[in-house]
Structure 1
Amino acid sequence: MSSETMLRTENLTFEYIRRDEEGNVEGITTAVDGVDLEVKKGEFISILGHNGSGKSTLAKHFNALLFPTEGTVFVDGMNTSDASNLWSVRQEAGMVFQNPDNQIIGQVVEEDVGFGPENMGVPTKEIWERVEESLKTVGMYEFRKSSPNHLSGGQKQRVSIAGVIAMHPKCIIFDEPTAMLDPNGRKEVIRAARALNDVEGITIILITHYMEEVIYSDKVFVMDKGHVKMQGTPREIFSQVDKLKDLRLGVPQVTLLAHELRQRGLNIPEGILDRKELVAALKGLKWQ
């Protein structure tokens, strides 16, 4: 495996076993089924899929919250199933969850952000440097003395992101980080994720079912029933509107509009990703 690889799964399969009250096996659900994927260092990757597609179960393997029933997961070359790697894996691959309230423990923002590095045994002076740097990175430094309870959902989520950044991970997995936020909060969080990728060079894995959030990715994996059904750049993925519909996924509204116009005979390219591209395509048409 090349040193450029951040994450790799080989035939990753994960089964949830359901038991009755006596502990007898009632049934087995295969949530992730034979997934092979590779993520390079510094990439921004999105994993799309509707509820029950297996995308969140897959994400939890990337920082060893779950271990494969079969197959292997490597984080920066370390096999996650090897117990001696657990601490290093979790230090390198941080996770931001759906509900910031489950992740925030401190009574004051800056204490909360310092919690991770403190647990890692980082010296006090450096903890405060990291807290300051992380809060500035997500634009929350002015709230460092506030109580998290007084923040909006988007602000809370940015504090939980700062808490992960303070541990200096190489990779951050965002597991549906905007599902509980309003549209402004969603924008704040995606902007923070993109900046971490662009400016800090941190590998980002974004798990989401919001189409608009994935247009900035280097690569998109689309999951359904535990399998990766499609992979490619956002443009390649969004050029296949009908296939996405079959997987019960929409596309960004502007992509859909462009697709419909194309079907009506307008000569515009497939896989339009944003309004600016659509306007440019329409301006470029030779109107009869």
Structure 2
Amino acid sequence: MTDLTLAIQVHNLCFGFPKGGAILQSCSLEVPKGEFWMLLGTNGSGKSTLLRLLAGLLTAEAGEIEILPPVGFVFQNPDHQLVMPTVGADVAFGLVQEKLSTLETRQRVEEALSAVNLMAFQRRPIYALSGGQKQRVAIAGAIARHCEVLLLDEPTALLDPDSQLDLVTQVQKLVASRGLTALWVTHRLEELDYCDGAFLLENGQVVDKGDPQRLRERLMQMEVPEL
């Protein structure tokens, strides 16, 4: 039964590749509306696969997914999703299917770029951006489409420390100011300082959830060198 206080509901989700065995096994989680949650787990635990299932990029073998549309997805490498030559054109590209007027499109683009502090970059070539700026353009694309849910797959993995901090605080502010719901895959424990809650995924199942600082302490006690 649908719970209107939740933005993401996953129940008993199962998925595996033909020659790779099971990736997710009866995986379940719930993310409240308007909150910023992170997804933790060792390499191969199924974090990125789960995110792609939520985004509709993969199809589950069994189980149920309920997620508020529209959904935005931010890849680990922004070069995999930025397709237009300039910042403004790339954000506008995602609006093509909505058949908006030129004025409406311009307003959406400007609103989105303003939200991620890139208004002055509207005519900037994509190739001239830093990695962190590219990730913010990807997020602006989701904002322009008025996405309810933002899924981010290790968006800081390729960024320097300053850009990492800038991006995670930017998403935290967007969740607080715009009512977005965000689910962020990470292997950086310091990023847990910025979220409302976290899930720990192991062997294709959520084995723990809740307070991010408690989960960080648990993971530190396990002495896992890299999540």
Quickly name the TM-score band, shorter chain normalised. Answer: over 0.9
State the alpha-carbon separation in 1 of the partners of residues 132 and 192 from structure 2: 18
Larger radius of gyration: 1
The aligned residue for residue 10 of structure 1 is 11
Amino acid at match of 1:71: G
2:193 is equivalent to residue 201 of structure 1: no
State the alpha-carbon separation in 1 of the partners of residues 219 and 91 from structure 2: 41
| CA drift at 1:239 | 3.6
| CA drift at 1:43 | 1.2
Question: Does the residue aligned with 1:160 lie in a helix, a strand or coil?
Answer: helix
The aligned residue for residue 126 of structure 1 is 104
Amino acid at match of 1:240: R
Q: How does 1:166-245 map to 2 (within 5 A)?
A: 166-241=144-219, 244-245=222-223
| CA drift at 1:120 | 2.4
Partner deviation per Cα, 1:254-273 (whole Å, 9 max, x = no partner): xxxxxxxxxxxxxxxxxxxx
| CA drift at 1:250 | 6.2
2:67 is equivalent to residue 66 of structure 1: no
**Structure having greater relative contact order (Cα 8 Å, sep ≥ 6):** 2
State the alpha-carbon separation in 2 of the partners of residues 250 and 101 from structure 1: 25
State the alpha-carbon separation in 1 of the partners of residues 152 and 176 from structure 2: 16
The aligned residue for residue 46 of structure 1 is 38
| CA drift at 1:235 | 2.5
Partner deviation per Cα, 1:51-94 (whole Å, 9 max, x = no partner): 21100000111121112111111113xxxxxxxxxxxx4xx111
Question: Does the residue aligned with 2:72 lie in a helix, a strand or coil?
Answer: strand
Contact 2:15 2:61 in 1 (8 A): yes
The aligned residue for residue 29 of structure 2 is 37
CA change 1:14–1:119 in 2 (3 A) is: same
Partner deviation per Cα, 1:100-156 (whole Å, 9 max, x = no partner): 111111111101111111222232211111110111111111111110101111111
Question: Does the residue aligned with 2:92 lie in a helix, a strand or coil?
Answer: helix
Contact 1:49 1:249 in 2 (8 A): no
| CA drift at 1:210 | 0.8
| CA drift at 1:242 | 5.6
| CA drift at 1:241 | 4.5
Coordinate RMSD, CA, aligned: 1.6
Structure 2: gaps of 5 or more residues: none
Q: TM-score, normalised by structure 2?
A: 0.94
State the alpha-carbon separation in 2 of the partners of residues 146 and 217 from structure 1: 31
State the alpha-carbon separation in 2 of the partners of residues 239 and 133 from structure 1: 39
State the alpha-carbon separation in 2 of the partners of residues 66 and 110 from structure 1: 29
Amino acid at match of 1:41: K
Identity of aligned residues (%): 36
Contact 2:168 2:194 in 1 (8 A): no
Segment drifting more, 212-221 vs 92-101: 212-221
Amino acid at match of 1:38: E
State the alpha-carbon separation in 2 of the partners of residues 120 and 50 from structure 1: 39
Contact 1:221 1:228 in 2 (8 A): yes
Segment drifting more, 120-129 vs 51-60: 120-129
State the alpha-carbon separation in 1 of the partners of residues 17 and 219 from structure 2: 32
